[in-house]
Amino acid sequence: MLEVIGNTWRHWDLVLSFTLRDIKARYKQTSLGIAWAIVQPLSIMVVFTLVFSVFAKVPSDGLPYPIFAYNGLIFWTFFANSLTGGTLSMVANSPLIRKIYFPRETLLVSVLLASTFDLGIALLLFAVMLVYYKVALTITVLWVFPLLALQMVLTIGMTGLTSAAHVNYRDIGHALPLFTQLWMFGTPVAYPIRVIPEWLKPLYMLNPMAPIIDGYRRAFLLGQAPDLPALAVSAVVTIAVATLGLVVFKRAELTFADVI
Amino acid sequence: MAHGVIELNNVSKRYRLRRGWHVKSIRDEFERLARRLVRRGPPSQDDFWALKNVTFSLEKGEVLGLVGRNGAGKSTLLKILSQVTVPTVGSFVARGRLGALIEIGAGFHPELSGRENVFLNGSIMGMSRREVQEKFERIVAFAEIERFIDTPIKHYSSGQQMRLGFSVAAHVDPDILLIDEILAVGDASFQAKCLNKLAELKEDDKTIILVSHNLTNITEHAKRVVWLDNGSVRMIGEPNEVVDAYLEHVTSDGVGDVKSTEVNLDPDRDLAIGEVVVRNQKEVVQDRFDRGETALIDVSYVTRRAMPGVVFVVSIQDLHGYPLGGVATDPDSVKVNAAVEHGVLRLKLDPLLFTKGAYTLSVHAMDPVSKRYYDIRRRAARILIDGHRATSRESSGHIHYPHQWEHIR
């Protein structure tokens, strides 16, 4: 783990170059350009609003459903996109991996950073919605930073595992979209956490993303601190995943060039 | 040589060949796991050792040449040297910043501009962005690409892309440099530039490993040469010695393995070429000549019917099979008639104009009108020329023209 942090630090320019490449290349020859970073969560928000709020009357903690859903969606999209991008990053860069040595984890970090850029764009619309729905931010909004940090560590750990697995078994690439979609429904993105039945809650809260997504909502919209005991569990799971992920990744990295 | 810049100790590399060689299936993995747990059964048939017990070391400032045929393990060795992959067995140490002029431009992204790609590729090769910034003008000028630097490189020609890639790689300023086929890039004037760059790097006391099919480049630049054969180091030492041995080996392979007595004429064929023998002026069989000597090439053939108009062609190739020209018989003077069942044609090459090196001869017989081949014998014989090599890169090539110089003004 320390090695990964060290490499990322030493090769920061490379991380930056990869990140810039990803961001620039993603929106080259598109007419909407970076607006695509908003379109994705926005359109899902519209669908969710219709399905969960208008049709199914899912509660939303007393908040207007659109902003309730959008808040969860932008951070979930950030997670899902960086998870997908990170998983595929080794194979997507296989010409490089086959030919040139550089610390492979720089690719994982750069995917995460490029997604962070998209998150920033999506947050612009969120700011507009905050004004429109007259939500007053409180000091609790500062909780967003530790939450983001936790989410990023989780993402790097997850992608360490999945990207190494994907190099060896391309099955991962097929399973991933399904997996992230299922995971989203196991996370309080479209619904509040309190609709979970009590008996299921201990299991539910093992999902490290659950208190994180819930935490953003509390921090931004409800003026509350996150559910700290649940967040502590999430942090433990995250650190376990990250340690395992990076150990596996650094071991598998040695033979990437041979099997990719 | 306890503290070489590069040290390889008994390095071996195994690849697993299996169905779907790129992508392992989970089932294969279970099989392997089972085998490992049980620890018996025959070793996998799918193992392929690309390198076997390779040991050598390099000191600072040394230029090492690497020769070997396709599949001999050169690429695998370069992959280990450039740390793209790790040895299966053995140890490898490199001390210093390592640069590779191998897969130039591998990190290019087609949608990005030349400028953006210079930064991207530069950082992939280990430069900081500031370093790229400082060298940017020189990189672009070297690649001769100033006008298009803000165009997406997907619109570049392949030559432009390679030039830019080479230029970035050449400016990394590493301590150890791996160079593969330096002359494969760009047109003649750009190649000259590349060779000048190589000379410059040599002067700067860089440690260089040079892989090239152009053996003149190897003997000209390298201080030592490693000959890889079948994954093992076959020979290591003084460039001319190793290159000569390598040439000898490569050209002797498969040459002259047909003897005239063995030639059978299949019922469906009209003519077959038999033994091809090279002799000296005194008709003694020999394949080593000095430049300027006379060689006789005797081509035997078998036929069953008169074949007016058949043409025999003897063509000469360099080591890599690259054709250097050939000579054909005149069907009016060389007539094949059935009365001679076993014929021998003699070609006299006088004088031999080739520079030092090894050459192979191919012989074929054909109908010049229908272009139908009666028989082809590739690598039927060889000629080794001793004496001087092509003296420098300006006169590299295989032919030494009879010539004289004089001052006319």
**Within chain B, what is the greatest distance between any pair of CA atoms?**
87
Residue A1, judged by CB atoms within 10 A of its CB (0-12, 13-18, 19+), counts as middle
Closest CA to A208 of A187, A228, A182: A187
Binary contact (A99, B106; C-beta < 8 A): yes
Nearest chain B Cα distance for residue A166, angstroms: 10
Give residue-wise pLDDT tens across range A96-122: 898 888 899 999 999 999 999 999 999
Is the model more confident about A231 or about A40?
A231
- Tell me, yes or no, if A30 comes closer than 8 A to chain B by beta carbon: no
Q: What is the ipTM of this complex?
A: 0.85
Whether residue A259 and residue B85 make contact (CB cut-off 8 A), yes or no, is: no
Residues of A in contact with B102 (CB under 8 A): 99
The C-alpha atoms of residue A116 and residue A156 are separated, in whole angstroms, by 13
State how far the alpha carbon of B12 is from the alpha carbons of B92, B94, B117, B203, B398, in Å.
Answer: 10, 16, 35, 33, 37
For the residues B251-265, what does the mean pLDDT come to?
Answer: 61
Query: Searching chain A, which residue's CA lies closest to the CA of residue B103?
Result: A99
Record: contact B123-A17, CB cut-off 8 A: yes
State what percent of residues in chain B have pLDDT above 70. Answer: 84
Query: Which helix H or strand E contains A21, and what residues bound it?
Result: helix A12-27
B154 and A CB contact within 8 Å: no
> What domains lie within chain B, and their CATH numbers?
6-251 (3.40.50.300), 260-393 (2.70.50.60)
Distance CA B125, CA B20 (A): 31
Q: Which residues does chain A have within 8 Å of residue B26's beta carbon, measured at their own beta carbons?
A: 169, 171
Domain extent listing, chain A: 2-25+36-259
Per DSSP, which regions of B220-356 are E strands? Answer: 224-229, 232-237, 271-279, 288-290, 295-303, 311-317, 323-328, 342-349
Residue A29 contacts B, CB cutoff 8 Å: yes
User: Tokens at residue B373, please?
Assistant: 């081949």
pLDDT tens figures, A28-67 = 878 887 888 888 889 999 999 999 989 988 888 889 999 9
Inter-chain touch A259–B24, beta carbons under 8 Å? yes
Binary contact (B152, A28; C-beta < 8 A):
yes
CA B147 distance to own-chain centroid: 35
From A105-114, A184-193, B8-17, the region with the lowest mean pLDDT = B8-17
Q: Is B92 on the interface with A (CB under 8 A)?
A: no
A32 touches chain B (CB under 8 A): no
Query: Mean pLDDT for chain B?
Result: 82
pLDDT given for residue B392 in this prediction? 46
Q: Hey, which residues 312-331 in chain B have their CB within 8 Å of chain A?
A: none
When mean pLDDT is compared across A47-51, A237-241, B14-18, B89-93, the lowest value belongs to B14-18
pLDDT at B259 over 60: no
B206: helix, strand or coil:
coil
The predicted-structure confidence for B150-161, as pLDDT tens digits, reads as follows 999 999 988 888
Least confident piece of the model among A58-62, A164-168, B258-262, B313-317: B258-262
Confidence category of residue B21, pLDDT binned at 50, 70, 90: very low
